[in-house]
Structure 1
């Protein structure tokens, strides 16, 4: 609920970066998020994007700001600038630049976006992981560095999601399949050593758009869960919830061809995200998680 006190605190926060001349004209809810309250904050001639959540979750906004700063290293990618991480009333707040986004549609736009993602993935780290832990949605994501990508993915991604699922009552068959996958996942990497690419980490269509600028349309990314890892993990997730245009994938492959066994590893990477959705949103994702785990376990048994 937007109270007068909250409006006053929001105006004060924006003034801390925009100057004392800012006057709050309008607060407009922004749809599309399930985790935070999102608002367009409008003054006389500028708009800002504000995310709010209970103050106990302020670490999420600090991690998000860190991730956006990392993605901003790549000139081919547009990210919203981080203006402030703070508090309004009793809530944590993240104030971002407002971007006028449009969908990733049309072959030319999609091709630019695919090439831009390949450029992002050219940014590499010294190892797999990230200097700090962060979040995938509101779920903690461990990023302690590792020199083996297969072990990193099993230990820092797959097993924590399976343990969380078990703690929420999703045991039995899912856990049996998960243990089998964890034991045998290394078979997918016997002849494959991915570079530690800078990944968005939560790359579905809802976290991407297009921003028009003086140099033409640019791929805009937001809500990251960054780390250094296998670029295939980002590509796999783009295919999970609706997918991106075909021209996007064609341009990516032209810029940086994928390994011939990408399709074999894709279910492993996407199982992580489906398990996360199971843990966040409940049993509606259990059957999908079990089907994916069943097929992957069978593939690894060959």
Structure 2
């Protein structure tokens, strides 16, 4: 891996001496490295046996967010599209975290501003990933249809194939999908969403500036994003207070929040097994039990 990293640095125009390469955290899916040359510091991800577009869609997501000029993202230098099990790399700027001046309130305002950037359709132009699981995509005029067909149903079918859908859960999930229009709106605006916004996917950078990392980009209901921020303990209260001040949240949010969290719980059920089954069942019972 060190040799591949050195070759990649030369390819992007940094032929200066490499002073340090060591593996760092943040590599649940990929191997992650801190690299320091005479010119600068890098954060480099590496992986093999991945689809060719695995790093490309992450890079595209970073660019989409950067173009909004709302929330900072690491500078992107290059990415590979490996085939036939070859190792690919994604090369970004190293963000040296600093808590000085950084507050969840600032992040809340910036995420609200990002959500103001909208598209004419829901979804995304190519398939993405949530962790290592593929996320099929497409562009839809209707948010309800997109959410049912390209979010809930694929995870439902994966759960069936992996044996994570016992009969009662499977029946209730089927009923929920049939009745989804009882709760999910179809006429919401397609906001730019990070798509995997949990506490581990933002960090304070220089001067406390918040940075977003590891996007799984899509356009959709901004409440879908907010619901996920609350799945595993949520962000600090200041984040939500600042978000609401910048972009008020509709009164029906409590009604749809569990249904939006259901998607991410199905993802965790498929990734980690039955430990998440009771959380899925709780939501199904609430709506169609």
- With the shorter chain as reference, the TM-score category is over 0.9
**Where does the alignment leave 5 or more consecutive residues of structure 2 unmatched?**
none
Task: Judge conservation of contact 1:267–1:296 (CA < 8 Å) in 2.
Answer: no
Q: Are positions 1:241 and 2:232 aligned together?
A: yes
Query: For 1:79-118, what aligned pairs fall within 5 Å after superposition?
Result: 79-86=73-80, 90-102=86-98, 109-118=103-112
Task: Judge conservation of contact 2:78–2:90 (CA < 8 Å) in 1.
Answer: yes
Q: CA-atom RMSD, angstroms? A: 2.0
Secondary structure in 2 matching 1:50: strand
Task: Judge conservation of contact 1:205–1:242 (CA < 8 Å) in 2.
Answer: no
1:74 to 53, 68, 88: 68
Once the 2 structures are TM-superposed, how far is the Cα of residue 209 of structure 1 from its aligned partner?
Answer: 1.5
Query: For 1:1-302, what aligned pairs fall within 5 Å after superposition?
Result: 6-20=1-15, 22-86=16-80, 90-102=86-98, 109-171=103-165, 172-189=167-184, 193-213=187-207, 217-298=208-289
Q: Which moved more, 1:87-96 or 1:154-163?
A: 87-96
Q: Would you say how many aligned residue pairs link Structure 1 and Structure 2?
A: 286
Once the 2 structures are TM-superposed, how far is the Cα of residue 189 of structure 1 from its aligned partner?
Answer: 3.5
Task: Judge conservation of contact 2:66–2:73 (CA < 8 Å) in 1.
Answer: yes
Task: Judge conservation of contact 1:201–1:227 (CA < 8 Å) in 2.
Answer: yes
Once the 2 structures are TM-superposed, how far is the Cα of residue 102 of structure 1 from its aligned partner?
Answer: 4.5
In 1, the alpha carbon distance for the partners of 2:287 and 2:36 equals 48
In 2, the alpha carbon distance for the partners of 1:61 and 1:218 equals 25
TM (normalized to structure 1)? 0.89
Secondary structure in 1 matching 2:106: helix
Task: Judge conservation of contact 2:198–2:228 (CA < 8 Å) in 1.
Answer: yes
In 1, the alpha carbon distance for the partners of 2:3 and 2:66 equals 31
Once the 2 structures are TM-superposed, how far is the Cα of residue 129 of structure 1 from its aligned partner?
Answer: 0.9
In 2, the alpha carbon distance for the partners of 1:283 and 1:26 equals 41
**Where does the alignment leave 5 or more consecutive residues of structure 1 unmatched?**
1-5
In 2, the alpha carbon distance for the partners of 1:60 and 1:90 equals 12
Secondary structure in 2 matching 1:132: coil
Secondary structure in 2 matching 1:41: strand
Task: Judge conservation of contact 1:199–1:226 (CA < 8 Å) in 2.
Answer: yes
What are the superposed Cα offsets for residues 108-154 of structure 1, whole Å, 9 maximum, x if unpaired?
A: 72211111001000000011111212111121112211111111101
Task: Judge conservation of contact 2:54–2:129 (CA < 8 Å) in 1.
Answer: yes
What are the superposed Cα offsets for residues 38-64 of structure 1, whole Å, 9 maximum, x if unpaired?
A: 111122352101111114333211111
Once the 2 structures are TM-superposed, how far is the Cα of residue 258 of structure 1 from its aligned partner?
Answer: 0.6
Task: Judge conservation of contact 2:56–2:81 (CA < 8 Å) in 1.
Answer: no
Task: Judge conservation of contact 1:207–1:221 (CA < 8 Å) in 2.
Answer: yes
